[in-house]
Amino acid sequence: MQHLKGKIKGEAERLIHHLTISSDNYDTAWEILTHRYNNPQILFTKHIEILLNQANISKQTSFDIKKLHDVSMECIHAIHNLGIDTTTWDPLLVHILSKKLDHLTYAAYMEARKDPRSLPALDEFMGFLESKFTALEPISRKERVVTTEKVSQHHISKPSSSNSFRFMSTGRPSINIYSHNNTGHNKIDKPYQKPFFQAVTTKTYKCPQCNQDHDLFKCNQFIDLSPKSKLATVTKLNICPNCLYKHDTNCFSTKRCKECNSEHNTMLHDAFPIKRSPQMNNKNFAKSADKRYSANYVANNDEMLLTTIQMQVLSSDGSYVTLRALLDQGSQITMITESAVQLLGLPREHLNASVAGIGESPNQSRGKVLLDCKSLRNDYEFVAEALIMPRKIVRNLPTTSFDISNFHHLKNLPLADPDYNT
């Protein structure tokens, strides 16, 4: 029972969360999990959709052919393990998979067949794919080496007597490549003279705390400091508290604190206490005396939870992705973020539309998309047409995670959003 609980997470973990660790509860836990997940029809549909929805190969490469081979074998073996006899599927499977090959590979397969007039065998087809990507792998490695050499000799820059760096938005140095002629002058007077290329420096990033060759967030001295001492060190060394690198411009890092989603590093979270007051110095709250009430966090009488749900949405490859949504009873339209649409890989339809809320400037949509949605807990399904929005549709819900250990009346209930407190 201890081993079983340590191996599961998410929905499966919540299903048997109420069972204590004892030998008597093991059979009950196993029965609950088997009843929920041992569904041969769903498992077969999942594997067959992955098999059929593999992308077509447009160019003959070892990577694409190997992926087609491995994914196909994995799905076929998984279907066979469900107790389904796949021995008579060879002609159908070979026909489906061969249509995904590029013209060159397909022609090579037809030439390699021992008896082109007989029905194809799956083992013969898979053996051909394996021999093909094995033969192409050395060619692919050679092409990568040649491409790397060409890129390294592409630009000529001005030399310097000292180490020179180009700093990116992260503050990390990159290598500059310079040319020198025999006189040491950086100008190439004659076009036919062959330049000599060399990397001026390969200097790595130095930790500002201990001056060793590692990043600040990997420094043991910095990690062992208290939260307030870490913040003081960052301030003293003029380090960005968000990315923990030194830079003169605004921080371009999109990463945020994993605890509160604020613009500071997670290692500094405890040094930035959240003060729950109307005048919080936070982007999620109004400044000065202009008090606004948030409706997404159970913290005081001014705030309440909104209806969030989790549901499965069908992606372009036939698999389902779990997304979180706000169930807004007052909205006239359905909206989805650009990042969610890209995660699903769904085709979009062009549409010019502007969306505005109370007191907000209109946002231009990026088209519309059709969503096939279904419940996490039963067979309920629905289709929705959603406008694609470039930015976040709502702020973080709830504003801050909170403890639900004392919500005994909600335990073991099949909630639409089990992570409503996060």
Q: What is the pLDDT of residues 219-269, one digit of tens each?
A: 888 888 888 888 888 888 888 888 888 876 677 777 778 777 788 888 888
pLDDT of residue 144: 61
Q: Per-residue pLDDT averaged across 57-71, rounded?
A: 91
Q: Which of 293, 261, 373 is nearest to 327 (CA)?
A: 373
On whether residue 328 sits in a domain, the answer given is: yes
Domain count for the chain: 5
> Taking a C-beta distance cutoff of 8 angstroms, is the pair 186, 178 a contact?
yes
> Taking a C-beta distance cutoff of 8 angstroms, is the pair 222, 209 a contact?
yes
Distance CA 264, CA 241 (A): 5
Enclosing H/E stretch for 128: helix 122-152
User: Domain residues for 223?
Assistant: 216-267
> Taking a C-beta distance cutoff of 8 angstroms, is the pair 159, 200 a contact?
yes
Residues 28 and 91 in one domain: no
The CA-CA-CA angle for residues 108, 110, 114, to 5°, reads 110
pLDDT of residue 178: 40
How are beta strands 166-167 and 173-174 bridged, if at all?
antiparallel
Other beta carbons within 10 angstroms of residue 9's beta carbon come to: 9
* Mean of per-residue pLDDT scores for the chain: 77
Residues 76 and 146 in one domain: yes
How are beta strands 334-337 and 381-389 bridged, if at all?
parallel
| Helical segments of 198-310, H only | 220-223, 227-236
Residues 189 and 233 in one domain: no
Residues 141 and 95 in one domain: yes
Residues 324 and 365 in one domain: yes
On whether residue 223 sits in a domain, the answer given is: yes
More confident of the two residues 86 and 251: 86
**Cβ-based neighbours of 123, under 8 Å, separated by 6 or more:** none
On whether residue 295 sits in a domain, the answer given is: no
Residues 64 and 146 in one domain: yes
Distance CA 364, CA 388 (A): 9
